[in-house]
Amino acid sequence: MDDPRKTLDELILQRGANYSSISRMLGRNVTYIQQYIRKGSPKYLDESDRNLLARFFGVDERILGAPPHRSGPVVELVQVPVLAIEASAGHGALAEMEAKSAQFGFDEKWLRRLTTSKAASLSIIAVHGDSMEPTLHNGDEVMVDLGDGQSRLRDGIYVLRMDDMLSVKRIAIEPQGKRVSVLSDNPAYPSWRGLEKRTINIVGRVLWFGRAL
């Protein structure tokens, strides 16, 4: 039998994913998969993790180290589209959100802990720029809930349309609740305060991010 670690490493590379995003999909520490593949710790994948990985990559669980006689419970994954666009944490990206380049599978129970929105309202896009450092880095992938927008606006990180560009910014509701601040976490970039809520064009709320190590 091929080495399950080498097999998993190749599957991650073929999918264009990374160790941290796969670890997060499993609900693990971001270094979990890297330590398993590179350092051999843990020695064996947890059965539920192995089954979820097999479902995500569409492979027989045995090539990931499952005993030949054992088949784990079926885990249905919710597929979230990865869009071939970027949301700027810097100078702005064109506000086009149509082209789907891939999909990423998430365990339904894990996803429900993030949001009650249906999968059709979720998308994953890349972050471009450093205006949200240290929270978000250039190249991070963020899951955006398109169903959580203007009507439920509250403190958090959102994707906004600003002058026909997409930007990732932090929203803070000001004390009286009638106005908001649009903030860059990186102090080298501008922030805007005292804005009326109706002037903010919300695309969706950022729920989760994945990062290459």
Residue 146 located in a structural domain: yes
Q: Which residues contact 53 (CB under 8 A, 6 or more apart)?
A: 8, 11, 22, 26, 45, 64
Q: Which tens digits make up the pLDDT trace of 52-65?
A: 898 888 888 889 98
Residue 70 located in a structural domain: no
Q: Please tell me whether residues 115 and 187 are part of one structural domain.
A: yes
What CATH number did the domain enclosing 115 receive?
2.10.109.10
Residue 158 in tokens: 């959102």
Tally Cβ neighbours within 10 Å of residue 89.
Answer: 28
pLDDT at 73: 55
What CATH number did the domain enclosing 37 receive?
1.10.260.40
Distance between CA atoms of residues 77 and 95, nearest Å? 29
Q: Please tell me whether residues 109 and 36 are part of one structural domain.
A: no
Domain termination residue (choose one: 43, 64, 85): 64
- Kindly state the average pLDDT of the residues 113-137: 90
pLDDT top residue among 152 and 181: 181
pLDDT at 191: 93
The pTM for the full model equals 0.63
Residue 109 located in a structural domain: yes
